[in-house]
């Protein structure tokens, strides 16, 4: 979904093509109508095969039927229906999908040919797809799921568990369970229809649609996330969950799912932290602007993934949701989810902000001050390898390096000193507001900080985010 307004005028020729008419596209005298293949890379230097170009994804409807097999595998039988708008006239286009088999692809209802090699599903429709034309792509696929690992060897994607699956895709795990333009710049609207063995519960982003339905030993859950979402923020987690729904004073639904198999101590800790979500949302709304989505909540799974993820509107936690982590994941709804990184090198705009926000929550609730937390990070000796991370370019294997989090947060604290409390407060609100449902880069953020403060911040950001040494002067 592009944030630019796009014309919805569909030409007569396009309508004919959509209807399966024989339009002599190749013979057209109009330049720009000549069909060419869509690109197989969205352009992120850290992930050279990820994403696609030539179209703008609008919606994904994921219809998933999942059965756990054992503690580390399951079977997935799925149909994805996506819509996109071609941004040029396409002879073919591609989607990312790894580790599952495709049985058929239809484009606008017509069977299409495809190749599926090294995670690239390249689809050649029967007819070329004219620029600006809306397109419906239906992919039938499935196979055996396992426990995928990311470039740093952390579990991610569709992680099969004994009682279902914990689904956390950052950065490039979405293609382990659906065919996708895996590019945070191409956000879309998602609906989910998830069928599981009776007794299991499936929880995705957003709001439930209707009641679950059980038939022939299987239960189907439907979910809908109405705000545009980056693919890495999708989830469809399955387990032995108990669901509770509460509301904030403003009426925002908070839907929490806790696995019945977490230990009693972890359940107690998680319930206490999750009970603070409404207060956290109120506190962050005051500082960051209105909560950007139409639901909130948590999924606490009994698993071994070992980290939490800020999946849109409903974060996933591994075994326990501690208060600091809940504050961090809720803050990501503003910093990371409504405004997402333009490139993965911009990840500090997610992690630095979420870390800083959790410091704010800690101070607000009587813990250490932001000042003290910042001072503790700055006290790290200059000789420590900690300072060698270039925060705004940590490398594909350094996305979650500790400096991305804590030097990122310290950078924000220092920026507050540099531009003053009022301008900094305005900046905290302006960033998610101006880039709502879109993405932003480090240079976009610097430009905004300079605009709000009227200061030249080049030397400041060079020292803090573009240099791999401890800043002493700037």
Kindly list the residues in this chain that would bind ligand TRP in the complex (CB under 6 A). Answer: 154, 170, 307-310, 328-329, 351, 400
Residue nearest to Zn ion (CB): 354
Contact between 238 and 66 under an 8 Å Cβ cutoff? The reply is yes
CA distance 225 to 213: 20
Q: Which is nearer to Zn ion, 42 or 354 (by Cβ)?
A: 354
Residue with tokens 């050649």: 124
3-state secondary structure of 161: strand
336-358 as b/e, with b when 16 or more CB fall inside 10 Å? Answer: bbbbbbbbbbbbbbbbbbbbbbb
Tokens of 292: 């950007």
- What 453-460 contacts at long range (C-beta under 8 Å, 24+ apart), as own/partner pairs, is 453/418, 453/419, 453/420, 453/423, 453/427, 455/418, 455/419, 457/415, 457/418, 457/419, 460/414, 460/415, 460/418
Q: Which is nearer to ligand TRP, 235 or 453 (by Cβ)?
A: 235
Residues 6+ apart with CB under 8 A from 106: 112, 136, 137, 138
Q: How many residues bind Zn ion (CB under 5 A)?
A: 2
Stretch that binds Zn ion, among 54-62, 182-190, 274-282, 347-355 (CB under 5 A): 347-355
Q: Which is nearer to ligand TRP, 328 or 435 (by Cβ)?
A: 328
Q: Which is nearer to ligand TRP, 80 or 269 (by Cβ)?
A: 269
Residue 330: CB minimum distance to ligand TRP, A: 11
Stretch that binds Zn ion, among 36-44, 232-240, 268-276, 344-352 (CB under 5 A): 344-352
Residue 177: CB minimum distance to ligand TRP, A: 16
Q: Which of 327, 288, 331, 292 is nearest to 425 (CA)?
A: 288
Q: Which is nearer to ligand TRP, 132 or 343 (by Cβ)?
A: 343
Stretch that binds Zn ion, among 187-195, 348-356, 392-400, 437-445 (CB under 5 A): 348-356
Contact between 56 and 185 under an 8 Å Cβ cutoff? The reply is no
45: which strand partners? Answer: none
Q: Which of 176, 3, 126, 139 is nearest to 60 (CA)?
A: 139
Give alpha helix (H) positions in 143-276.
264-274
Residue 146: CB minimum distance to Zn ion, A: 25
Residue 349: CB minimum distance to Zn ion, A: 11
Q: Which is nearer to Zn ion, 191 or 311 (by Cβ)?
A: 311
3-state secondary structure of 232: helix
Pairing of strands 73-86, 113-117: unpaired
Q: What is the DSSP string of 323-369?
A: HHHHHHHHHHTTBTTTEEESSGGGTHHHHHHHHHHHHHHHHHTTS--
258: which strand partners? Answer: 242, 300
Q: Which is nearer to ligand TRP, 86 or 330 (by Cβ)?
A: 330
Q: Which is nearer to ligand TRP, 92 or 237 (by Cβ)?
A: 237
309 binds, among ligand TRP, Zn ion, none (CB under 5 to 8 A by kind): ligand TRP
| Residue 299 in contact with Zn ion, rule: CB under 5 A | no
Q: Which is nearer to ligand TRP, 323 or 351 (by Cβ)?
A: 351
Stretch that binds Zn ion, among 6-14, 281-289, 343-351, 466-474 (CB under 5 A): 343-351
Residue 308: CB minimum distance to Zn ion, A: 8
170 binds, among Zn ion, ligand TRP, none (CB under 5 to 8 A by kind): ligand TRP
Residue 456: CB minimum distance to ligand TRP, A: 31
- Please state, in angstroms and as integers, the Cα–Cα distance from residue 97 to each residue in 18, 170, 235, following that order: 26, 15, 16
Nearest-10 Cα torsion for 442, 446, 452, 456: 180
| Residue 354 in contact with Zn ion, rule: CB under 5 A | yes
Residue 232: CB minimum distance to ligand TRP, A: 9
CA distance 281 to 121: 40
Site for Zn ion in 186-245 (CB under 5 A): none
Q: Which is nearer to ligand TRP, 123 or 358 (by Cβ)?
A: 358
Binding site for Zn ion (CB under 5 A): 351, 354
């Amino acid at each position: 979904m592009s944030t630019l307004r796009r014309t919805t005028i569909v030409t007569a020729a396009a309508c004919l093509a959509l209807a399966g008419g024989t339009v002599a596209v190749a013979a057209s005298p109009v330049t720009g109508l000549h069909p060419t293949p869509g690109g197989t890379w969205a352009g992120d230097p850290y992930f050279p095969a990820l994403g696609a170009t030539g179209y703008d994804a609008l919606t994904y409807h994921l219809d998933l039927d999942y059965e756990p097999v054992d503690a580390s595998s399951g079977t997935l039988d799925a149909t994805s229906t996506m819509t996109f708008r071609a941004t040029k006239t396409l002879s073919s286009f591609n989607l990312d999908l790894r580790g599952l088999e495709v049985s058929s692809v239809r484009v606008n209802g017509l069977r299409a040919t495809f190749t599926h090699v090294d995670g690239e599903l390249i689809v050649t429709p029967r007819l070329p797809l004219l620029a600006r034309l809306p397109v419906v792509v239906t992919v039938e696929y499935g196979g055996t799921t396992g426990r995928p690992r990311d470039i740093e060897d952390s579990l991610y994607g569709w992680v099969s568990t004994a009682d279902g699956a914990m689904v956390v895709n950052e950065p490039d795990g979405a293609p382990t369970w659906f065919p996708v333009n895996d590019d945070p710049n191409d956000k879309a609207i998602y609906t989910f229809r998830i069928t599981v063995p009776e007794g299991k519960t499936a929880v995705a982003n957003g709001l439930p649609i209707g009641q679950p339905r059980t038939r022939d030993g299987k239960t189907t859950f439907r979910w809908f996330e109405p705000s545009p979402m980056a693919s890495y923020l999708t989830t469809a987690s399955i387990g032995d969950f108990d669901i509770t729904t509460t509301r904030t004073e403003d009426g925002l639904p908070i839907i929490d799912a806790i696995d019945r198999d977490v230990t009693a101590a972890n359940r107690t800790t998680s319930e206490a932290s999750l009970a603070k979500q409404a207060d956290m949302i109120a506190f962050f709304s005051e500082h960051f602007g209105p909560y950007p989505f139409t639901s909130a909540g948590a999924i606490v799974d009994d698993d071994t993934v070992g980290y939490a993820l800020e999946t849109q509107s409903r974060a996933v936690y591994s075994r326990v949701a501690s208060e600091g982590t809940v504050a961090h994941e809720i803050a990501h709804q503003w910093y990371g989810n409504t405004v997402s990184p333009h490139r993965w090198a911009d990840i500090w705009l997610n992690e630095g902000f979420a870390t800083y926000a959790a410091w704010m929550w800690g101070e607000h609730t009587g813990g250490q001050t932001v000042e003290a937390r910042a001072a503790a990070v700055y006290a790290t000796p200059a000789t420590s390898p900690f300072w060698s991370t270039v925060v705004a370019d940590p490398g594909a294997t350094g996305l979650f390096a500790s400096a991305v989090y804590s030097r990122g947060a310290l950078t924000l604290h220092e920026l507050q000193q540099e531009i003053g409390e009022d301008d900094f407060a305005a900046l905290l609100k302006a960033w998610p507001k101006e880039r709502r449902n879109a993405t932003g880069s480090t240079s976009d953020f610097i430009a905004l900080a300079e605009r709000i403060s009227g200061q030249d911040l080049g030397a400041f950001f060079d020292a803090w985010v573009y240099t791999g040494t401890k800043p002493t002067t700037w």
